[in-house]
């Protein structure tokens, strides 16, 4: 086991304070959007200055174990992140594994450079992802069931918006086709017409933001997004998506094709080891509308929240698992009371991230020890045996254990 140095990503939407405060550091005034703990070749973590992806390449069976190497080759199949958003991220979706493989091969054959701004597929992997909130966390995710969207449209009483109600057939079996038709229309109409439509929606929305219900939350977000990105198609997308508020410990899982955008908050995110993003708005980065529409899943999503399962409790230690329907990763959240001990014992590579308090991780066979503080992570290769973590802080220590 060795301490893992995360890779900091200073994207413009990040928070200048959230991650530095968690790590007990002074802010340098730059936005810190993410810290990556993993072996993605674009921005790998390091151990004593050596890249984790190169460490794994040198001895994949020791690092990953036979099971993981056989399934995923000589690469770590997951990527763990700290994520802090002060501003909305781009409206986006991720491809399926087949779409990613085809898109990656296609752009390679076309000679599109991996670092080209118009590149959609940076690798041949899909990117299912789960975010666990560390603070109040706000996001938009998945198309809202149409009965609720029709209710929202009716509330607005907006003539220009009303013209599109004919696309929203009430028949449940038509819901997916209706959403596809409406979103595809909105994302392709001329900019002048789109701005005119959004201005009319925003004018109507301002009369309903004090209602105190879910529709008011949506409309406040629509107004805010339009202030940040006037006339952007992402403002229209916000009318169709679930608006989600996660409290600390709650999570949201996103499958391939689900349109989403994080809005604000601090969380721990885990995903397949990929950087494939198809953007649809709320960004100055490259937007490929036909490719986004091709990968989108227009099936409505009643609630994007992910189940958390309490798996251990003895009054001083509590553990929650977040089951996901993918092979690449699993993750647990552990709350440790002072001097309490928990076993870390998985048949594969593990990254342990501390987000509160402090912990000492010990190898019971050798006596080797590593201390974790908030924002620090530990790499445990598959060849290592059982490890034990004990709480050192006066209050509870919080650990996230990611594994393949």
pLDDT tens column, 79-119:
999 999 999 999 999 999 999 999 999 999 999 999 899 99
92 is in an annotated binding site: yes
- 199 and 72, same structural domain? no
- 111 and 35, same structural domain? yes
Helix (H) or strand (E) holding 177: helix 175-188
138 is in an annotated binding site: no
Active-site residue identified among 75, 119, 194, 279: 279
34 is in an annotated binding site: no
pLDDT tens column, 288-330:
988 999 999 999 998 999 999 999 766 678 999 999 999 999 9
371 is in an annotated binding site: no
Q: CA–CA separation, 389 vs 321, rounded Å?
A: 17
Predicted local confidence at residue 315, as pLDDT = 65
Q: Is residue 185 part of a domain?
A: yes
Q: In this model, does residue 151 exceed pLDDT 90?
A: yes
At residue 11 the predicted structure's pLDDT band, cuts being 50, 70 and 90, is: very high
Q: CA–CA separation, 123 vs 33, rounded Å?
A: 22
pLDDT tens column, 69-81:
999 999 999 999 9
The DSSP-derived string for 324-346 is -S-SS-EEEEEEE-BT-EEEE--
Mean pLDDT calculated for residue range 34-52 = 95
Whichever domain contains 96, its CATH number is 2.60.120.10
Q: Average pLDDT of the chain?
A: 93
Q: Is residue 171 part of a domain?
A: yes
309 phi and psi, to 5 degrees?
-115, 120
- 259 and 167, same structural domain? no
- 259 and 132, same structural domain? yes
279 is catalytic: yes
Predicted local confidence at residue 385, as pLDDT = 72
What total of structural domains would you count in the chain? 3
Token digits for 287?
């937007």
- Residue 251 domain boundaries: 2-140+246-295
pLDDT above 70 covers a percentage of the chain that reads 99
At residue 239 the predicted structure's pLDDT band, cuts being 50, 70 and 90, is: very high
- 263 and 214, same structural domain? no
Q: How far is the CA of 392 from the CAs of 12, 138, 179, 364, 372, in angstroms?
A: 35, 32, 52, 17, 9
Vertex 315, ends 311 and 320: CA angle to 5°? 25
Q: How far is the CA of 331 from the CAs of 38, 50, 149, 253, 328, in angstroms?
A: 14, 25, 33, 12, 11
- 374 and 329, same structural domain? yes
Predicted local confidence at residue 145, as pLDDT = 93
- 153 and 129, same structural domain? no
Mean pLDDT calculated for residue range 339-366 = 92
Predicted local confidence at residue 391, as pLDDT = 87
């Amino acid at each position: 086991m060795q301490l893992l140095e995360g890779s900091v990503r200073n994207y413009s939407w990040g928070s200048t304070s959230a991650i530095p405060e968690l790590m007990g550091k002074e802010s340098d005034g730059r936005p810190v959007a993410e810290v990556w703990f993993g072996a993605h070749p674009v921005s790998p973590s390091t151990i004593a200055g050596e890249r984790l992806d190169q460490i794994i390449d040198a001895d994949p069976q020791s690092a990953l174990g036979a099971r993981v190497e056989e399934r995923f080759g000589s690469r770590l199949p997951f990527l763990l992140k700290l994520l802090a958003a002060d501003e909305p991220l781009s409206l986006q979706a991720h491809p399926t594994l087949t779409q990613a493989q085809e898109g990656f091969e296609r752009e390679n054959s076309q000679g599109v450079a991996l670092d080209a701004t118009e590149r959609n597929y940076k690798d041949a992997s899909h990117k299912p992802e789960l975010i666990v909130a560390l603070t109040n966390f706000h996001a938009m995710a998945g198309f809202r069931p149409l009965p609720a969207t029709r209710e929202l449209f009716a509330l607005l009483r907006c003539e220009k918006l009303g013209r599109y109600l004919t696309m929203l057939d009430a028949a449940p079996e038509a819901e997916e086709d209706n959403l596809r038709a409406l979103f595809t229309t909105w994302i392709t109409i001329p900019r002048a017409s789109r701005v005119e439509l959004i201005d009319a929606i925003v004018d109507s929305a301002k009369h309903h933001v004090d209602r105190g219900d879910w529709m008011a939350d949506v409309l406040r977000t629509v107004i805010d997004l339009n202030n940040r990105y006037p006339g952007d198609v992402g403002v229209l997308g916000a009318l169709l998506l679930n608006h989600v508020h996660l409290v600390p410990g709650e999570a949201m899982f996103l499958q391939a094709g689900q349109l989403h955008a994080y809005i604000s908050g601090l969380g721990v995110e885990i995903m397949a080891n990929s950087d494939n993003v198809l953007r649809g708005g709320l960004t100055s980065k490259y937007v490929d509308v036909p490719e986004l529409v091709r990968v989108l899943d227009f099936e409505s999503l009643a609630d994007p929240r992910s189940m958390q399962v309490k798996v251990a409790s003895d009054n001083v230690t509590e553990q929650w698992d977040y089951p996901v329907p993918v092979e690449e990763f699993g993750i647990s959240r552990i709350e440790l009371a002072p001097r309490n001990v928990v076993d870390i014992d998985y048949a594969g590579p593990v990254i342990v991230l501390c987000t509160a308090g402090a912990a000492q991780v010990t190898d019971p066979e050798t006596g080797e020890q590593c201390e974790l503080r908030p924002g620090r992570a530990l790499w445990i290769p598959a060849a290592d045996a059982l490890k034990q973590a004990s709480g050192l802080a006066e209050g509870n220590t919080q650990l996230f254990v990611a594994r393949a």
